[in-house]
Amino acid sequence: MIKVLIYEDIRELREGLTMLLNGSEGFEVLAAYRNCDNVVDEVTGLQPDVILMDIDMPGTTGLEGLKRVREVNKVVKILMLTVFDDNDHVFKAITNGANGYLLKKTKPALLLEYIADAHTGGAPMTSSIATQVLQMFASMNNHKKEETFNLTERERQVLQLLVDGYSYKMIAAEKFISIDTVRSHIKKIYEKLQVNSKSEAIAKAFKNRMTEDR
Domain CATH code at residue 104? 3.40.50.2300
* Same-domain check for residues 196 and 94: no
pLDDT of residue 209: 56
211 has a pLDDT exceeding 60 = no
CATH code: domain of residue 194: 1.10.10.10
Q: What is the pLDDT of residue 213?
A: 46
89 lies in the same domain as 126:
yes
Is there a domain that residue 213 lies in?
no
Q: Any idea what the Cα angle at residue 126 is, between residues 105 and 109, rounded to 5°? A: 60
Phi, psi of 211 (to 5 degrees): -125, 170
Residue 45: predicted pLDDT: 97
How many whole angstroms separate alpha carbon 196 and alpha carbon 133? 21
Express each pLDDT in 142-164 by its tens digit: 544 455 678 888 988 888 887 77
121 vs 14, which has greater pLDDT?
A: 14
Q: Please tell me the number of Cα atoms within 13 Å of 98 on its side-chain side.
A: 26
Number of C-beta neighbours around residue 128 at 10 A: 10
- Averaged pLDDT for residues 80-99: 77
**Sequence letter at residue 126:** T
Greater confidence (37 vs 132) lies with 37
- Per-residue pLDDT tens digits for 117-143: 889 887 787 766 666 665 655 555 554
Q: Indicate the residue type of 190.
A: Y
Task: Say whether both 90 and 193 belong to one domain.
Answer: no
For 21, 35, 109, 113, the CA distances from 105, given in Å and listed in that order, are: 16, 20, 12, 14
Share of the chain above pLDDT 70, in %: 80
Average pLDDT over residues 7-17: 95
- The closest of 17, 71, 62 to 44, measured between CA atoms, is 71
Total count of domains within the chain: 2
Residue 32 inside a domain? The answer is yes
* Domain's final residue, options 135, 158, 190: 135
Write b or e for each residue in 50-64: b if 16 or more Cβ atoms lie within 10 A of its Cβ, otherwise e: bbbbbbebeebbbbb
Domain boundary among 91, 107, 135: 135
Do residues 53 and 110 both lie within one domain? yes
Q: Which domain holds residue 189?
A: 145-207
Q: Answer whether residue 182 is part of any domain.
A: yes
Q: Is 212 within the bounds of a domain? A: no
Residue 140, domain member (yes or no): no
108 and 198 housed in the same domain = no
- H/E element holding 130? helix 127-141
Average pLDDT, the chain: 83
Last residue of a domain, which of 135, 156, 173? 135
- Does one domain contain both 49 and 122? yes
Considering only residues 121 and 195, tell me which one the structure prediction assigns the higher pLDDT: 121
Distance CA 3, CA 45 (A): 13
Q: Are residues 92 and 24 in the same domain?
A: yes
Overall average pLDDT of the 32-48 stretch: 96
CA–centroid distance for 54 within its chain: 13
Please determine, for residue 214, whether its predicted confidence score (pLDDT) is greater than 70: no
